[in-house]
Amino acid sequence: MKKKWLFAAAAVLSLSLAGCGSNSSDKSADNTKEEKVLVMGTAADYAPFEYIDAKVSDDIIGFDIDLAKAATKKMGYKLQVKDMEFNSLIPALQADKVDFVLAGMTPNKDRDKVVDFSKSYYDTKEYMVVKKDSGIKSDADLVGKKIGAQTSSIQEDLAKSLAKEIKGVKLESRDRVPELIQEVKLGRIDALVTEDIVAENYLKQNKELGYYVIENQEDQSKAAAFPENSKLTAEFNKALDELTKEGKVDELKAKWFKVK
């Protein structure tokens, strides 16, 4: 009788262990089906590329966000967006804190040394935003003036060049574009270097502001940044080509690149 009881107990234990093994296997199989996540770094102060409309929600929205969602979906990834200061984006990429950057960023020699860039997805020109009553209508009027730009941006590089070329020009950099707009409105900065589509939205909202197109400049292309030698660069370029052929990129431009 005792032997029968031991046999029965062993059988029950065996079935129980088999059941545990089955559940573990199923769970492992489910994990392999989960989509991989790509973390994108951006600076959400740069409408219409990426920004937060606090009147609506705390979500980051804009052209770059929609483009990233469409591209990563084609690449087979889910997207997670991290907001940070613009000058922190390249260091975050180098430190593996983000997988790529999409932030209205323009490739230049210094950035090319440490990251890889995708194909260009948009080109812009640079505006000098001023108060309408400032009397500043061209680069020649900047003598002795204080000009602003976003820290570590291509606009800051352009502002530095102007400061070398034009007598008495001083540069003031800030981390966020809205701060710079406010400084111009308050008269603490005389002029602000920023991109055409970004400037036009602020100009629409602030009737006291005006602008002129900065002289002798090249168009500024926009591209995504990836770690050096990352396979993601080619995958993103392929997705971007497909989205362009499908008309999705033009659709997003029509949606976001307009003055509201």
* 44 and 78 part of one domain: yes
Residue at 101 is within a domain:
yes
pLDDT at 7: 41
41 or 32, greater pLDDT: 41
Position 195 in a domain:
yes
Token digits for 253? 């431009």
State the pLDDT at residue 14.
43
Q: Which residue reads 């308050």 in tokens?
A: 186
The answer as to whether 3 is a domain residue is no
C-alpha to C-alpha distance for 168 and 257, rounded to whole angstroms: 35
Does 202 share its domain with 152? yes
The 10s digit of each residue's pLDDT in 88-122 is 999 999 999 999 999 999 999 999 999 999 999 99
Domain CATH code at residue 204 = 3.40.190.10
What residues make up the domain containing 191? 126-213
Same domain, 154 and 108: no
pLDDT at 54 over 80: yes
pLDDT tens column, 162-190: 999 999 999 999 999 999 999 999 999 99
8-state DSSP, 223: -
Q: pTM higher than 0.95, yes or no?
A: no
Return d(Cα 237, Cα 239) in angstroms, integer: 5
Model confidence pLDDT, tens digit, residues 127-169: 999 999 999 999 999 999 999 999 999 999 999 999 999 999 9
Q: DSSP state, 140?
A: G
Whether residue 110 is found in the same domain as residue 65: yes
Percent of all residues in the chain with a pLDDT value above 90, rounded to a whole number: 80
What gap in Å lies between CA 59 and CA 56, rounded to an integer? 8
**Inter-residue contact 40 to 89 (CB < 8 Å):** no
* 52 in any annotated domain: yes
Domain shared by 109 and 238, yes or no: yes
- Looking at residue 8, its pLDDT comes to 43
CA distance 38 to 114: 20
The number of distinct structural domains making up the chain is 2
Burial class (CB in 10 A: 0-12, 13-18, 19+), 20: exposed
Q: What is the pLDDT of residue 36?
A: 93
Confidence at residue 9, expressed as pLDDT on a 0 to 100 scale: 44
* Pair (152, 190) in one structural domain: yes
Report CA 129 to chain centroid distance, whole Å.
22
Judgement on whether residues 68 and 132 belong to the same structural domain of the protein: no
Asked whether residue 66 is domain-assigned, the answer is: yes
The pLDDT of residue 4: 41
